[in-house]
Structure 1
Amino acid sequence: MSGGVKREYRSDLRSAQAEQTRRAVVDAASRLYVEHGYGGTTIDAVARAAGVSRKTVFTAVGGKLDLLKTALDWAVAGDDRPVALEDRSEMRALLALDDPVDLLAGWARILVDIDRRVGPLMTALEVAAGGDAEAAALIESSQHQRLEGARTVVRRLTALKALRPDLSRDTAVDIAWLASDAVLYDRLVRLRGWSHTRFETWLAQNLCWQLFDG
C-alpha cells in the first residue's frame, strides 16, 4: 500500500470517527434536553452521557445553543445528512404530484413525522427562549423555515389551480404555516391522547377543507 493510500485511509477513518462522535454528542444532548430541559442540561452532563470530554463537546458541535440547534435540524430532517428538507427526494416527489389531495396527504405525513421528532425539543427551546435572546432568535429562525415550507406547498397548489377562489395566496400560506406547527401535534396527541394516525388523517382533511376549491 502506497503512502498516499495510507494517508487517505487514515483521513477517512478520522473523518468517520469525528462523525460518530458528533452523533453521540448530539444524541446525548437531545435526550438530556427532553428529560431535564435546556436550563437543567449542562455541557458536562452532555459530555458524560456521550462518553467524551467537555472539550470534545465544544469541538464536535459547540455550546448549549449549538447543540440544541443541531438537534432540531437533525430532528426536522430525520438524519444528520447536510441536505435541506426541500432538497430531499421525499419532498421533491411530493411536489411533483398532480393530485392536490395526494399532495396534502403526503405533506401531512411528512409534517407528522417531523412533529414526533421535533416536539419535545421545541418545548425545551421555548422554555429557553424565555430568558435567552439567542434561543428566541432560534425560534424565530424555525418559524421562518416553516413559513418557507408553507410557501413552497402553496406555490405548487397554485400551479395546480387547486386553491379556493376566495382565498388569497398569503392567507393560504398562513393556514399551511399554522398546520405545520408542532404544537398542534403536541396538544392533540400528547395531551388529548389522539393516535398518530388519527392526527395525520385530521391534518390532511383539515388542510383540504380549508385550502381547496370545492
Structure 2
Amino acid sequence: MPSRPYRSELRAEQARTTRRALVRAAHELFVERGYAGTTIDAVAERARVSRKTVFTAVGGKAELLKVAWDWALVGDDEPVPMAERPEVAAMLTETDPARLVHAWTRFLVPITRRLAPLHPVMVSAARSDPEIAALNEISEQNLLGGATSFVSSLAKLGGLRASWTVERAAQVTTTLMDPMAFDRLVVRSGWTDEEFADWVEDVVLATFFAGPDTDVVLSSG
C-alpha cells in the first residue's frame, strides 16, 4: 500500500517531464520554422516521443503554441497565475509612484524577452488560423488588462497626470509592453535589457507620470 502514492507521484513527474520536453521542442521549432512549418511529427521527433504522445500530453499545434506562450509569459510551468506571482504582489503594495514605475519596468523586461521570439509566430499564424487568432485576441486583452492594472495602481498613488485618463495611459503602456518594441531595440539594434528598461521608464515618466511639479489625478477609490 505505501508504494502506491510513490508510483502515482513518479508517474505524475514523468508526465510533467514529457510535457516540458514537448513544449520546449515546440517552442524551438515555432521560432526556427514558424507556425506553418512546424509539424506534430517534428515536435515528436525533437522531444523523442511518439506522435500520439504529443496529443495526449499537450494537444495539437494550437495548444502547443498556447502553452508555450503561457509558459514564456510567466517563466515556468507552475500553475500560478501572473496576478498571484510574488513580483506582482510586491508592486501592489508599493506606496511610492516613482518606485512603482521603476519596479514595473524591471518586471516587464524579462517577460518581454521571453515573449519576443514567439510574438511574430503568433501574429503571423493568427492571420490564417482561427484558433490562433482567438488566442492572439486573448493575449491582446491580457496585455491591455496588465497595462490597465499598472496605470490604475499608479493613479491610486497620485502618479497619473490630471490630463490623462487611465484608459489613455493604458493604451500607451500596451505599446511599451509590445514584444515588437523589445525585438526592434534589443534584439535587432543591440540595446541591453537595462537600456531598454531605462527607456520604457523614461517614456512613462515623461508622458503621463505626475511628478512633483505636475498636476495629479486623485483616485476616488
Q: Same fold (TM over 0.5)?
A: yes
- Matched ranges for 1:6-21 at <5 A: 6-21=3-18
**C-alpha deviation, 1:180, in angstroms:** 1.3
**C-alpha deviation, 1:132, in angstroms:** 0.9
- Please give the root-mean-square deviation of Cα atoms over the aligned residues, in Å: 1.0
Which residue of 180, 185, 203 corresponds with 2:182? 185
Which residue of 157, 175, 181 corresponds with 2:172? 175
Deviation string, structure 1 residues 81-135 (Cα, Å, up to 9, x no partner):
1111111001110121111121111111121101111111111111111211111
Determine the structure 2 residue equivalent to 1:146.
143
Which residue of 87, 91, 96 corresponds with 2:93? 96
Contact preservation (8 Å) 2:97, 2:158: no
The amino acid across from 1:174 in the alignment is Q
- Matched ranges for 1:175-214 at <5 A: 175-213=172-210, 214=214
Determine the structure 1 residue equivalent to 2:105.
108
Contact preservation (8 Å) 2:23, 2:67: yes
The amino acid across from 1:109 in the alignment is R
Which residue of 161, 172, 175 corresponds with 1:164? 161
- Matched ranges for 1:61-100 at <5 A: 61-100=58-97
Contact preservation (8 Å) 2:35, 2:121: yes
SS in 2 for 1:62: coil
**C-alpha deviation, 1:193, in angstroms:** 2.1
Distance 1:53 1:100 in 2: 52
Question: Gapped runs of 5+ residues in structure 1?
Answer: none
Provide the TM-score with structure 2 as the length reference. Answer: 0.92
Question: Gapped runs of 5+ residues in structure 2?
Answer: 215-221
Is 1:47–2:44 an aligned residue pair?
yes
The amino acid across from 1:103 in the alignment is L
SS in 1 for 2:117: helix
**C-alpha deviation, 1:192, in angstroms:** 2.1
SS in 1 for 2:77: coil
Contact preservation (8 Å) 2:185, 2:191: yes
Determine the structure 2 residue equivalent to 1:31.
28
The amino acid across from 1:179 in the alignment is L
